Amino acid sequence: MTPPLALVALGSNLGDPAARLRAARSDLAELGRIARSSSIYRTAPVGGPPGQPDYLNAVVALEPRLGLAEPRSLLGALHEIERRHGRLRRLRWEARVLDLDLLALDELVREEPEITLPHPRMMERSFVLVPLCEAVPEWRHPLTRESACEALARLPMEGIERTVLGWGDSRARRAET
C-alpha cells in the first residue's frame, strides 16, 4: 500500500526565517518521510498588517508515519511544531515566526470547522503554488482536477524570488525521491 502524501506549506518572516524553516523541516521529518521539498522562496507579504518583512516560503511533500495519516492528527502535530517554535495565533495574516499549512492529504476532500482540505485558498496564492509546482508538479486539485501549475499560470508572479538558501542538512536535500 502506498503511504499517503501530505503537502505542507512552510512560511516565516520573523527572527531568522531561514533557520526557522530549516528547523521546521527537520521537525517535519520526525513526523514521517520527506518525499520532496521545494527550494526556499522569498515572497512579499500578502494581506495582514502593513510593514511586515518579506516571508520565506517552501513546500514539503511528507509521507506521514502511521498514526498521523488522519488529517486532524497531522494538523495537530503541525500546530505543535508551530507552538514549539514560538508561534502565537493573535491576528489573521500577521507576521509570524512559523506558519505550517496542511495544503492537501492525498485526494482527501474535507470541510469541517477545524480543517478544510484541500486548503481553501491555496489555488489563489502564488507564494504557495510556486514552491508546490516545483516540489510536486503533477499534483491536481481533487475536486477541479486543475493542476497547481495551471492555476499558477493565471496568477501574478511579482514579489516571488527563488533564493539560493539550502536546507542545510543531510536529511534536507531539495528532492529526496
Among residues 20, 27, 42, 99, the one annotated as catalytic is: 99
Which residue is catalytic, options 65, 101, 106, 171? 101
Q: Is 99 a catalytic residue?
A: yes
33 is catalytic: no
- Find the catalytic residue in 25, 36, 87, 125: 87
Distance CA 59, CA 94 (A): 20
- DSSP string for 26-59: HHHHTTEEEEEE---EEE---SSSTTPPPEEEEE
For residue 116, the cross-strand partners are 111
Q: Give exposure, 136-163, as e/b (b: 16+ Cβ within 10 Å).
A: beebbbeeeeebbbebbeeeeeeebeee
Written as nine digits, the cell of 139 is: 499534483
Cβ atoms of residues 37 and 58 within 8 Å: yes
Strands 55-64 and 160-162: unpaired
- From the candidates 20, 42, 96, 125, give the one annotated as an active-site residue: 96
C-alpha cell at 47: 494581506
Residue 89 falls in the annotated catalytic set: no
Is 101 in the active site?
yes
Instruction: Return the active site residues.
Output: 87, 96, 99, 101
